[in-house]
Chains A and B, each alone.
Chain A
């Protein structure tokens, strides 16, 4: 069987390490890691190239959380949903514990996602093909609603942050006419602000500035009591949590799968809805672990389900699967229903690699990265923060090799400092920035298509269901918010 070839195993391990490196460094992303690998993939056999891509993307998405754990720099917009919780968890209970939840939660989400990919790819693909711009519009609204109600005590401030994010997304040429908006005469702004640069500034660089302002000195970043962390922090502790919260893991993974298979920004919306649902329904106040678990499992479940439209329709779900389709075409492999009949060995290799990546690679490579993160957190603050500052500028520069992105990153660091001072949440800014273009573009396309007939937004059955989900989120959110406020008042 070709499946256990040495080259295949080597490709998996090399891909996992390479993915871990790219995921953990701010500014380097899973997309970039795969893009750099593509020219090599041209010369490789499909049965080696595709497993390597799967290993790279699965591990890179997890490793994006390493930045959150050390310095509150989320690797993807999806991980911004739980960056605060993961960061405070890693500082109070150790990076091994925080990243253990992340790695093992990702692993379980990924396994569930793979099972759905293997079992129902063709059926789900038919569903995905029914999504037109009206449905996408409502999905974006659902993501924004979930974002508002995930913002904690002050919904109005959460909404304000979201609006700032949406506003940032309008910089650059507009999606309908190609008209340049808010570019301040600088051609480099026509492309819009890069959301990764904004994210690095909002979270990472603002953290550096915040501690500079507060005069934090040579104290250590992590709790002093965490000297040398036991291995059980990484495996046993998180596993116990997952066993206790298995319902949560399944629910979040399913959310990740069912929003993630939509071509477009599925993965991000899935993680946000999962985190927000957990925050709203939690009975206890201290539920950081459960929020992180909800986010990571839905995030990695979406990595697998993004392959559904790519494999069964030939439609790329995200940039990684777009590149995978390119590899398919060059190897003469045709995606679509026929793939599942004619190329069964390849399909089995894909599913097998997903399982191996999630069962074996995430827990082992995850431990390696968590160890490094733990060491970094034991550095004194006034040495760790300069390193983070250097990583922030380099990361922002590396995204597009654009000096302007560094300027944007620094500016966002200052803006974030002011937002934090005013008690505004930061993650909502990122959500607004990611969903803004989706919302506007699908609204405009729908309106142009239907000749500005507002009723057309309520005519299609799936659109109506999604609208119902938005209304339900608002009602559930307001009830939970009231309950939380009264609960707090009674408590003190």
Chain B
């Protein structure tokens, strides 16, 4: 009873399907070569919505679309400690319509063997933000300044613990770099892994760990609320948002780190003309006060690097991450 009707159904169905496809194909215009950019851009963020990278990227996208005259959409491709999003960007078409935020983790993950990807798999456009690590303790902690903390670590190595991210994450590397700079072994302040800065701060408040080395942007709310104190900033200069927090260098400790930076990048082999256009657009966009003022207020540091300077920056960061991960015993 089915077959004769089914035949008619299939015939009519095919006609309709072809019609439907044609209509939708026309609706989404085919790619005739036009001046770049002629359609909306997508920016991939490898971290979840609401995090630091996401906030900075969305703020940049909002001003970038005025510069480019096309909508700039931000999508989050999260998971795997950032691998998923970084991988997705490296696989995208290098046509300038898919960009992405790459973060410090891209200089770390290939050393630990999680992925073969490294910074050379991208065409970097510009450095946007750097997020220096801040040494943060509970507000009722007995140490007045960083030297008290170092004295306590020297007197009783291994009793104080630190947290901020997973084992071998960026804030863990900052801890190792700091301990090394003051002449201590990394076991003097063991690392307690956490799923990010917020859970680590929760542990800090509850007395589970003693020090958090996450960025100032991440700890600033608690600092302003008077729950934690920031002993020092691992940066070359103070942040305008926290002018009273000294840097390690001012305190006589020769260590500074860029912390968690974010670079806007395209997949490898982006045509030079489009790369240049994007460089100019990002430079103009990042100077706008509606982008810079709220981000600086939220504890980000804006830093603009592009071209050869950016290449050098990435190469040095990659080299540094390799050394520190090796010392942590996590590199392959």
A interface residue numbers (CB < 8 A to B): 31-32, 34-35, 38-39, 42-43, 129-135, 172-173, 175-178, 180, 187-188, 190-192, 194, 263-264, 312-316, 319-320, 322-323, 325-326, 328-332, 334-339, 400-402, 437, 441, 444-445, 448-449
Contact = CB atoms under 8 A, between A and B. Distances in A.
Interface string B167-206: 1110000000000000000000000111100110111011
A314 B224 contact: yes
Contact of A175 (B48, B195, B294): B195
A134 B208 CA distance: 9
Interface string B48-60: 1111001100110
Nearest to B191: A448
A329 B221 contact: yes
Top 5 nearest A-B pairs by Cβ distance?
A191-B79, A336-B225, A314-B221, A190-B80, A35-B49
A263 B202 contact: yes
B206 A35 contact: no
B213 to A, nearest CB: 16
B297 interface: yes
A331 B59 CA distance: 14
Interface of B: 48-51, 54-55, 58-59, 61-62, 74-81, 83-84, 87-88, 112, 114-115, 161, 166-169, 192-195, 198-199, 201-203, 205-209, 217, 220-222, 224-227, 290, 294-295, 297-299
24 contacts: A31-B50, A32-B49, A35-B76, A39-B74, A42-B290, A131-B202, A177-B193, A178-B169, A187-B83, A187-B115, A194-B79, A263-B198, A264-B202, A314-B225, A315-B198, A319-B49, A326-B50, A326-B55, A330-B294, A336-B224, A336-B225, A400-B77, A441-B195, A445-B194
B80 A191 contact: yes
Contacts of B201: 315
Contacts of B74: 39
Contacts of B83: 173, 187, 190-191
B179 to A, nearest CB: 18
Given A132-B206, A449-B192, A329 B299 contact: yes
A295 B192 CA distance: 35
B59 A39 contact: yes
Nearest to B208: A132
A348 B74 CA distance: 33
A445 B298 contact: no
A178 B295 CA distance: 30
A334 B203 CA distance: 21
Nearest to A177: B167
A316 B221 CA distance: 10
A192 B80 contact: yes
Nearest to A325: B221
A315 B205 contact: yes
Given A400-B76, A449-B161, A329 B194 contact: no
A317 B59 CA distance: 23
Given A39-B62, A314-B222, A319-B50, 16 more contacts: A38-B58, A129-B227, A172-B79, A173-B114, A177-B168, A178-B81, A191-B79, A191-B80, A263-B202, A312-B225, A314-B225, A329-B299, A335-B224, A336-B226, A400-B78, A445-B192
Contacts of B168: 177-178
A177 B112 CA distance: 11
Contacts of A38: 50, 55, 58
Given A129-B205, A132-B207, A35 B50 contact: yes
A133 B224 contact: no
A129 B227 CA distance: 10
Contacts of A180: 80, 114
B64 to A, nearest CB: 11
Given A187-B87, A315-B198, A330 B77 contact: no
Given A191-B78, A319-B48, A448-B192, A178 B225 contact: no
Nearest to B207: A132
A337 B192 contact: no
A332 B241 CA distance: 10
Nearest to B203: A132
B225 A313 contact: yes
Contacts of A131: 202, 206
Given A42-B59, A319-B49, A329-B299, A402 B208 contact: no
Given A176-B193, A263-B198, A338 B114 contact: no
A263 B194 CA distance: 14
B307 to A, nearest CB: 28
A330 B58 contact: no
Contact of A401 (B54, B77, B208, B290): B77
Contact of B220 (A35, A134, A329, A449): A329
